[in-house]
Chain A
Amino acid sequence: MAIETPYSKLCALIVDDMAVQQTTLRGQLTMLGIGKVEQATTAEDAIRMLRTGRHNLVLCDYNLEHTTDGQQLFEHLRESNLLSPDCLFFMVTAENNYAAVASASEHKPDAYLLKPITAADVGERLKSALERRRVFQAVSAALARQDLAAALQANDEVLARRDRWALHALQQKGQLLLQMGRHEEAKGVYQAALAQRPQLIWAQLGLARSLKAAGLFEEAKHIARDIVESQDGQRTMAAYDVLAESLEAQGDTGAAQWVLRDAATMVPSVKRQRLLADCAFRNGDVDTALEVLGKVTRATRGSIVAQAQDTLSLAQALVDAGRPAEGLSLLDQPLARGSGPAAQQESVVMALKAQAYARLGDRDRAVQAVGRAREVLRNAKADFATVALAKAELVTGNESDGLRLLAAAVSSDHENPRVRQLVRMALRDTGHEDKMDHLVEAAAATLTGRVADAKAMFRNSRIDEALSAIESALKDYPENTGVLLQAAQMNCLSLRLKKQANAAVVDRVRLYLARLDKLMPGSDRVTQMQRYFRETLSALAEPAAA
């Protein structure tokens, strides 16, 4: 007969490739009274089993297998939403790499367990993690339904109890306020926390983020730099990000690359290397892009964290560096899973091959390849694929098509400085340096003009006309973040002016904001617009003043 224990309804998964360790952990979990214990020996197995969503606890060894370590698996699970919200994740590490693992993680597991582990260790951490989960249940539930205001209120209730969870609640309050675009209040929370405990890294980081959200880049950089130069904070990757994002916002992309290089040196994870390679690629620093992408593709070969884009970017960098034959042989190898449809990926491969053949002087094959690339890629976007095709057109003699594509890429997201950078580099690499300024400015000016016209109509109280003008720009360029932000703002303004919560308009704004959130995750501008929308809705909900 099964004995009822506090944990008898829990289902645990042990992820470890060593049979002895698996048996030990299984014995310990059983001793704690955990009802069901399953085992996986590889990252792939673990992912397959976790997809069922029935697990409440994962115990994963850091030194998992050759291609994927426990931290990579954990980050992959979190980023791909493969861990159900109520599943706890405990990382098992050896003494000698604990310091490095714990200080460098971008996502923190619920607990670290150091070998040799005893059942009492697991029991203690499990009790504490379940207690935290229980205390913050209302906050998590509100967050799951994206109700930030309710989450903040529930969190404030925990904070008011001033108990063991007060500091956690304070940290969460700062984060929630930042997510809600209320950076002034977030700043207050972090300053108050620092007045009590000046060494708190999360509060220093939060303060830097609040300042960045307020556009105070110099101040944000100052604090972020202090963090990464401190003994305790030198491996805080988020501080490097604040620094790099602030520099990029100020237009200093070269310095941003140095910061990302420092971060990738401190923590040479795949994620860090990708960020550095991406920045180097946009900056036209082909040598760095080659070096770093080479490392990434070698490190992730055959792993769950391998991405097709790494190989595609590396192939482009090889072609740009005058090594087209190597680029071609790379493209002949099977690609890892990509984020987009297979046909789209194939089109990018063809565009890159066309560039490589053209560089090798094999015109026939180049023309054939660009033709196939063109078949799939119909709509130009502000992305790598469009720029790769444009370069292929340019090097195979289709100058007008290539330039048109590049102009369309800029128009697709005319305020996005990264796209402008990519387009400028593409023109430079294909011998059209003279057209850089003109093409980019002209393409952006068209969109800037359309937005300005719509705004002018709005100011002149031609609200419906203004809205239809901005919607029409959006129809042409549905992923243009500048236009999306403007469209969201104008629609909110129209709601406020008409003092009526028109359901169609509200839905439209929601759609734009969702699209923006996907296109610019974590952007301060989007967060501000979300806040404005929420305030608009609550203003409309209030009874009209007499």
Chain B
Amino acid sequence: MSPEATALVVHDLKNELGALEASLARLACAPTPTAAEEAHRQCGLLRQRLVWFLTVHGADGRLQAHLDDESPHELLDSVAQRARSGLLAGRDIGIAVQASASLPAVAMFDRRLLSFALDAAVHNAAGFARQRIVLAGQGSDGTFSLTVDDDGPGLLAGHPAPQDSTGLGSWLCRAVAQAHRGTMSLGAGPLGGARFEMRLPT
């Protein structure tokens, strides 16, 4: 990451920390289970973004993937589950998994890094989706692709690509794809919104 990008991310994280502090202050005055849950959710998301930042920043341009035999199906399910219980909790956006029959049962990848990349893509999609996010996977010829589609206004209609305001998600996804000798792209998706895609060797 460039020093400018790093400064931007740190600044952004500081703001989020401020927001969390405000939530906790409100909670201290008027404790309710809903407010506590919201503060907890905020804290979880902030932690997640800090971990992404440390992953990209600490790798110094050479993120290393620890490949293991993993199930892409389980990966998609766990990303969707995490989004439901964290990012999308209390919001009117649904997330569905569509694993094609061609998606291999097993592939070599770093589950932790791919989880980060997909979480970041879902995080981005949630910023634009109206009602739906679809996580999908398919395979062909020694590769498999994982996509995140949203039904938002789409790239041409002002989807401020790449990813989030600071570009952290984008840095992360590109680094994760490279570490797997794969590619990452962003384009128009079938739901009318954007499509994030990672294509990786099995």
Contact = CB atoms under 8 A, between A and B. Distances in A.
Interface of A: 95-96, 99, 102-103, 114, 116, 118, 120, 124, 128, 162-168, 171, 196-197, 199-200, 232
A167 B58 contact: no
Contacts of A196: 142, 202
State the majority secondary structure of interface residues on A.
helix
27 contacts: A95-B51, A95-B54, A95-B55, A96-B58, A99-B64, A99-B66, A103-B64, A116-B51, A120-B82, A120-B85, A124-B78, A128-B74, A163-B106, A164-B71, A164-B105, A164-B106, A165-B69, A165-B106, A166-B105, A166-B106, A167-B108, A171-B69, A196-B202, A197-B201, A199-B108, A199-B181, A200-B108
B112 interface: yes
Given A114-B112, A168-B106, A199-B67, 13 more contacts: A95-B51, A95-B54, A95-B55, A102-B66, A103-B66, A120-B82, A162-B105, A164-B73, A167-B108, A168-B69, A171-B69, A199-B108, A200-B108
B47 interface: yes
Nearest to A115: B51
A291 B82 CA distance: 51
Nearest to B202: A197
Closest A-B pairs by Cβ, 4 of them: A167-B69, A164-B71, A164-B105, A163-B105
Contacts of A200: 108
Contacts, number: 48
Contacts of B181: 199
Contacts of A232: 67
Between A164, A171, A199, the greatest number of chain B beta carbons within 10 A of the residue's beta carbon is seen for A164
A197 B108 contact: yes
A114 B115 CA distance: 13
A128 B78 CA distance: 12
A466 to B, nearest CB: 50
B87 to A, nearest CB: 13
B99 to A, nearest CB: 12
Interface string B26-69: 00000000000000000010010001001100100000101101
A196 B66 CA distance: 19
Contacts of B71: 164
A457 to B, nearest CB: 53
Contacts of A116: 47, 51
Between A118, A163, A167, A168, the greatest number of chain B beta carbons within 10 A of the residue's beta carbon is seen for A167
Contacts of A118: 44
A163 B54 CA distance: 34
Interface of B: 44, 47, 51, 54-55, 58, 64, 66-67, 69, 71, 73-74, 78, 82, 85, 105-106, 108, 112, 142, 181, 201-202
A96 to B, nearest CB: 7
A513 B202 CA distance: 42
B114 to A, nearest CB: 13
Contacts of B74: 128, 164
B19 to A, nearest CB: 19
Contacts of A162: 105
B120 to A, nearest CB: 16
Nearest to A120: B82
B52 to A, nearest CB: 11
B89 to A, nearest CB: 13
Contacts of B67: 199, 232
Nearest to B63: A99
Nearest to A162: B105
A128 B108 CA distance: 15
B73 to A, nearest CB: 7
Contacts of B58: 95-96
Contacts of B66: 99, 102-103
Between B69, B74, B105, the greatest number of chain A beta carbons within 10 A of the residue's beta carbon is seen for B69
A116 B44 CA distance: 11
A288 B73 CA distance: 51
A116 B95 CA distance: 26
B6 to A, nearest CB: 16
A251 B99 CA distance: 55
Contacts of B82: 120
A199 B107 CA distance: 13
Contacts of A120: 82, 85
A168 B51 CA distance: 29
A124 B55 CA distance: 20
B175 to A, nearest CB: 14
A199 B54 CA distance: 27
A167 B67 CA distance: 12
Contacts of B201: 197, 199
A102 B113 CA distance: 14
